[in-house]
Structure 1
Amino acid sequence: MEDEAKPVKRSSQRRENRKCAVQFLYQWELNKPEQLNDALRVFLETLEQERDYYAFAEELIHGTIEHIKEVDAEILAHAANWKFERIAKVDLSILRLAIYELLHRRDIPPVVSINEAIELGKIFSNPDSKRFINGILDQMKNKIDRPLREASE
């Protein structure tokens, strides 16, 4: 009897782009560059795929940074008893990305943004971050003025 090879589970291109976005947002938080586009170009050149593979990541990065004050205000509003400085930088990057998606990417169902954030927390952070990220995003979803399980555009 022949052994059948099990298929290798691969992340979707969108998840890979979100991972890329979180990594860049983390780097950006630690050392904000003078020229965002130059820093992003250099960052993307270090990755395995060609730059156009990461077009979705670039959209997410630009959108998150463009709306950073609004996004951070939401994090502060929902992170009861947490000082902003105490939030782990990787968790902050994941939350920023997810909240940007929830507020400004109507083409992405809110549950997808929330689930992706939790998965990113499993990849990049510690086991406790899942609860923290989920807690904040669970509160955020109550503010969403559209169906949670479908894109609205």
Structure 2
Amino acid sequence: MGKRRKAREVALQFLYQLDQHGAEDPTPHGDEFWARHPVDPDTQAFADALVRGAKQQQPKIDQLLAQYAEHWDLDRMAVVDRNILRMAAYELLWAPDVPPKAVINEAIEIAKKFGTTESSRFINGVLDRILREQRATSA
């Protein structure tokens, strides 16, 4: 498994933990989380950037998810799916160094590993809609 995949998986676990505790700021939870999930410094730095970025942009991201995840209320969405979507939406919209197809493919693979049997299709559909809409808006 590549370092970026590992970082995304660890970031998902951190986001999941924050979501379960209703925490908005990852800072007070970072030391404890990283002590329980040790990874190499590069992997931790990338994962931490994903977590901080997703949390910082969460109000905007959640607004997009509510718009593009038709017939799904964010609070009723599976916690894993919701956090994969938040992390991937952050990368799609605020991390231009990562190709959009790579972001979506990584999110799908992580959903297959951590989500339900329906998660990967659901996540693919929502992220594809976000990407198409953002491209149309910026064109």
The TM-score normalised by the length of structure 1 is 0.83
**3-state DSSP class of the match of 2:134?**
coil
Equivalent pairs counted in the alignment come to 136
1:63 aligns with 2:76: no
Aligned residue for 2:133, secondary structure, equals coil
Structure 2 gaps, min length 5: none
Tell me the distance in 1 between the aligned counterparts of 2:23 and 2:125: 31
- Aligned partners of 1:34, 1:96: CA distance in 2, in Å? 13
**1:1-150 superposed matches below 5 A:** 11-33=1-23, 36-145=26-135
Residue number in structure 2 paired with 1:3: none
In the other structure, the counterpart of 1:6 is: none
Task: State the AA in 2 paired with 1:59.
Answer: A
- Which structure: larger Rg? 1
Asked whether the 8 Å contact 2:24–2:55 carries over to 1, the reply is no
SS of 1:143's equivalent in the other structure is: helix
RMSD of the TM alignment (CA)?
A: 1.7
Contact kept? 1:98, 1:114, Cα under 8 Å? yes
Q: TM-score, normalised by structure 2?
A: 0.91
Answer yes or no: is the 8 Å Cα contact 1:45–1:51 preserved in 2. no
Structure 1: runs of 5+ lacking an equivalent: 1-10, 147-153
Aligned-pair CA distance for 1:32: 3.1
With 118-127 and 52-61 compared, the bigger mean Cα shift is at 52-61
